[in-house]
């Protein structure tokens, strides 16, 4: 019953911002009628976090009063935290400790709705945890897109999207800190002497892993935020496909785990599959601008290309304003802001690499233009994020400068350096290195095929799934 209650709570209120005073502790879990300032100065919590704390408080009372079953109650407390932790993260590249924790939870606690263990009550399905205020923003955006006189407010949608992310991640981390600093000592004293090791296991297997959520969750949401901002600047994507892109972005983070008809807007579901491919191929302005430019010119670069300014005004600057507003409203800590900016800029760097990888003809002057463009983007990113070193900058620059690798050193470069790039990026580089020589190009491509075949390098960089 305790997990079913939490599942219902998550399905209805996941990652809703619940402002509390700066001196908030678990002892303050009582109703108050005092008004709260719009700006948060206390810990960043969701309503679900408060519900979990109340639930744990009840279990703590049970452990004190019913000593013979204290170990079983402790197991229930661990299940509550595990379920909450697992609900905050899906399939991403994650640290080993966190991966093992999520794998353990998945094997012991999580199952599909129709699984026999769910029917018996031993395991539980995940909630449908799409934050309602985010879906309200989606609905309002779709209404404006149907009105030719109105312009879609993608920035407002990204702000709602990002707020839900911060509230979800930071509330889980806060809960783990509360366990570590205040609750574990009380739980330990309620357990029999021979069972007190349960608290140490819980600390190592769950609480420590929860503190690693910021980076992987930021890496999970960043590509969707960049895609949404890029969509707002694309003139070749229809309104229906913008809607599909939005639905696709949400489905990557808040996946539908329920069969309820009203859990996800029906109209957007039909658009997901077609739009997911459309934006990521030729229609986002970054890829289309870079691919369509004439990189074979013989003029020495003195000013950045036009797409650099577009990237700044349409992506970096709006995201900077969103982050600044959320930092003031939510009272974000430096670690949270840094993790999000690093993930966002890493995603931008990856998109630049993919776009440059589609360039197949290039002169030395064109390569110099690329370097100037990347340095200009780095300066804009530093201005907006206040991060001194653009994440992935060296990787992008190294790729551009690989144009100057002598052909006879191509195999050596591929073996020692080129493996950090995708097969598509190396193929584009081989075309540029050939400088129009068809036989040379074929030799370079054959070398790529040989190295990929012999080393077992994957042609794609798909994110692995944590499920077993």
pLDDT band with cut points at 50, 70 and 90 for residue 18: confident
Q: What is the mean pLDDT of residues 202-221?
A: 90
pLDDT at 356 exceeding the cut of 90: yes
Q: What is the mean pLDDT of residues 305-332?
A: 94
Note the pTM of the prediction, 2 decimals: 0.81
DSSP 256-308: -----TTSS-HHHHTTHHHHHHHIIIIISHHHHHHHHS-TT--SPP-S--HHH
pLDDT at 244 exceeding the cut of 70: no
pLDDT single digits (tens) 376-406: 999 999 999 988 778 888 899 999 999 999 9
Residue 322 is predicted with a pLDDT of 96
pLDDT band with cut points at 50, 70 and 90 for residue 369: very high
pLDDT at 237 exceeding the cut of 90: no
Residue predicted with more confidence, 418 or 30: 418
pLDDT single digits (tens) 423-466: 899 999 999 999 888 999 999 999 998 887 755 444 433 333 33
pLDDT band with cut points at 50, 70 and 90 for residue 123: confident
Residue predicted with more confidence, 362 or 139: 362
Residue 154 is predicted with a pLDDT of 82
pLDDT single digits (tens) 254-304: 444 433 333 333 333 333 333 333 344 444 678 888 988 999 999 999 999
């Amino acid at each position: 019953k305790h997990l079913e209650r939490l599942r219902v709570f998550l399905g209805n209120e996941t990652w809703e911002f619940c402002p509390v005073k700066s001196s908030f502790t678990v002892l303050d879990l009582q109703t108050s009628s005092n008004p709260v300032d719009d700006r948060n100065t206390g810990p960043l919590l969701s309503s679900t976090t408060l519900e979990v704390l109340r639930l744990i408080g009840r279990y703590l009372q049970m452990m004190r009063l019913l000593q013979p079953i204290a170990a079983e109650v402790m197991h229930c407390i661990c299940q509550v935290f595990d379920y909450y932790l697992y609900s905050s993260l899906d399939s991403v590249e994650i640290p080993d400790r966190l991966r093992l924790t999520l794998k353990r939870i998945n094997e012991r606690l999580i199952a599909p709705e129709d699984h026999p263990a769910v029917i018996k009550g031993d395991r539980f399905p995940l909630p449908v945890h799409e934050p309602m205020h985010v879906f309200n923003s989606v609905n309002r955006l779709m209404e404006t897109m149907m009105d030719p006189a109105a312009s879609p407010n993608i920035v407002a949608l990204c702000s709602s999207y990002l707020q839900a992310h911060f509230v979800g991640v930071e509330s889980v981390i806060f809960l783990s800190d509360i366990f570590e600093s205040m609750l574990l000592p009380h739980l330990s004293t309620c357990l029999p002497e021979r069972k007190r090791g349960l608290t140490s296991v819980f600390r190592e297997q769950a609480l420590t892993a929860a503190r690693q959520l910021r980076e992987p969750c930021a890496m999970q949401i960043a590509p969707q935020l960049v895609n949404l901002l890029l969509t707002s600047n694309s003139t070749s994507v229809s309104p229906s496909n913008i809607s599909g892109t939005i639905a696709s972005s949400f489905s990557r983070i808040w996946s539908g785990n329920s069969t309820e008809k009203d859990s996800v807007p029906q109209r957007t579901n039909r658009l997901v599959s077609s739009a997911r491919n459309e934006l990521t191929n030729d229609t986002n302005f970054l890829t289309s601008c870079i691919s369509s430019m004439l990189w074979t010119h013989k003029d020495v670069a003195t000013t950045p290309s036009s797409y650099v300014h577009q990237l700044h005004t349409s992506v970096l600057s709006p995201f900077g304003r969103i982050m600044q507003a959320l930092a003031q409203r939510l009272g974000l800590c430096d670690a949270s802001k840094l993790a999000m900016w690093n993930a966002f800029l890493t995603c931008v760097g990856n998109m630049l690499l993919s776009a440059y990888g589609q360039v197949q003809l290039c002169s030395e002057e064109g390569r110099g233009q690329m370097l100037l463009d990347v340095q200009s983007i780095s300066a804009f990113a530093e201005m907006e994020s206040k991060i001194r070193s653009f994440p992935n900058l060296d990787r992008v620059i190294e790729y551009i400068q690989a144009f100057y690798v002598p052909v006879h050193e191509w195999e050596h470069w591929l073996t020692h350096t080129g493996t950090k790039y995708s097969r598509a990026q190396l193929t584009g580089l081989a075309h540029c290195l050939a400088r129009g020589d068809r036989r040379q190009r074929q030799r370079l491509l054959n070398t790529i095929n040989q190295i990929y075949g012999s080393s077992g390098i994957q042609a794609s960089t798909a994110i692995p799934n944590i499920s077993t």
